[in-house]
């Protein structure tokens, strides 16, 4: 099983701006969220923790790994979609025409950025390689996690626009035969249980 974890809160996403490859640290709330995620996995169940290279994901991964006595391995395929020139922009600052085109065409890339098709290809490679026995925790970002769901369900990347994924959530995928199977999406009970 791969348990995909979306990292905790940063000031950039708290303020409603596109974060992409911006390497922002976790806020105090983000660190609390990471600790809550660490407690949601049964003791001794985590065999490996993988992380995007970005700081917000690595810090979330370190909290999980420390609680389970394992190390963290960085995998570049888990990095967030590259928003290019749109990084740090609020959604209101992206032209409605460009936003509409992006939502309609998964091969569209923001200026200087990356398409949903590109993200889907690298995440599919990750899933095919890493999905196996044991519980692998993969700390990543909204676009790669949604891409993993599309891979497991065998659906087009445009479906990502119909999915909401909370910060510090858990999404689980297993392998059955030759296919990935989505077993849970956007788990957040661990966040309310901690308060």
Which pLDDT score is estimated for 177? 85
Which pLDDT score is estimated for 65? 96
Which pLDDT score is estimated for 193? 61
Per-residue confidence at 166, pLDDT binned at 50, 70, 90? very high
- Annotated catalytic residue within 68, 80, 114, 141: 80
Range of the domain at 40: 2-193
pLDDT at 195 over 60: no
Active-site annotation holds for 195: no
Cα gap 138→75, rounded to integer Å: 9
Which pLDDT score is estimated for 178? 84
Active-site annotation holds for 80: yes
The domain that holds 177 is classified in CATH as 3.40.50.1240
Which pLDDT score is estimated for 90? 86
Q: Average pLDDT over the chain, rounded to whole? A: 94
Q: What is the mean pLDDT of residues 101-117?
A: 94
End-to-end CA distance of the chain: 28
- Annotated catalytic residue within 7, 68, 141, 190: 7
Q: What is the mean pLDDT of residues 118-136?
A: 94
- Provide the greatest CA pair distance for the chain: 49
Counted domains in the chain:
1
Please state, in angstroms and as integers, the Cα–Cα distance from residue 190 to each residue in 41, 42, 63, 96, 110, following that order. 10, 12, 14, 36, 34
pLDDT at 18 over 90: no
pLDDT at 67 over 80: yes
């Amino acid at each position: 099983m791969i348990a995909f974890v979306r990292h905790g809160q940063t000031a950039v996403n708290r303020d409603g701006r596109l974060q992409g490859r911006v390497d922002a640290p976790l806020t105090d709330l983000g660190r609390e969220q990471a600790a809550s995620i660490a407690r949601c996995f049964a003791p001794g169940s985590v065999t490996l923790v993988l992380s995007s290279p970005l700081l917000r994901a690595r810090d979330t991964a370190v909290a999980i790994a420390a609680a389970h006595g394992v190390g963290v391995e960085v995998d570049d395929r888990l990095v967030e979609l590259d928003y290019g020139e749109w990084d740090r922009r609020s959604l209101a600052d992206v032209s409605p025409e460009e936003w509409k085109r992006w939502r309609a065409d998964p091969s569209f890339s923001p200026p200087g950025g990356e398409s949903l098709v590109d993200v889907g290809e690298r995440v599919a490679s990750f899933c095919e390689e890493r999905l196996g026995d044991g519980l692998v925790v993969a700390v990543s970002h909204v676009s790669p996690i949604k891409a993993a769901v599309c891979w497991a369900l065998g659906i087009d990347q445009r479906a990502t626009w119909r999915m909401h994924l909370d910060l510090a959530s858990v999404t689980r995928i297993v392998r059955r035969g030759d296919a990935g199977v989505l077993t849970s999406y956007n788990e957040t009970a661990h966040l309310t249980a901690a308060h």
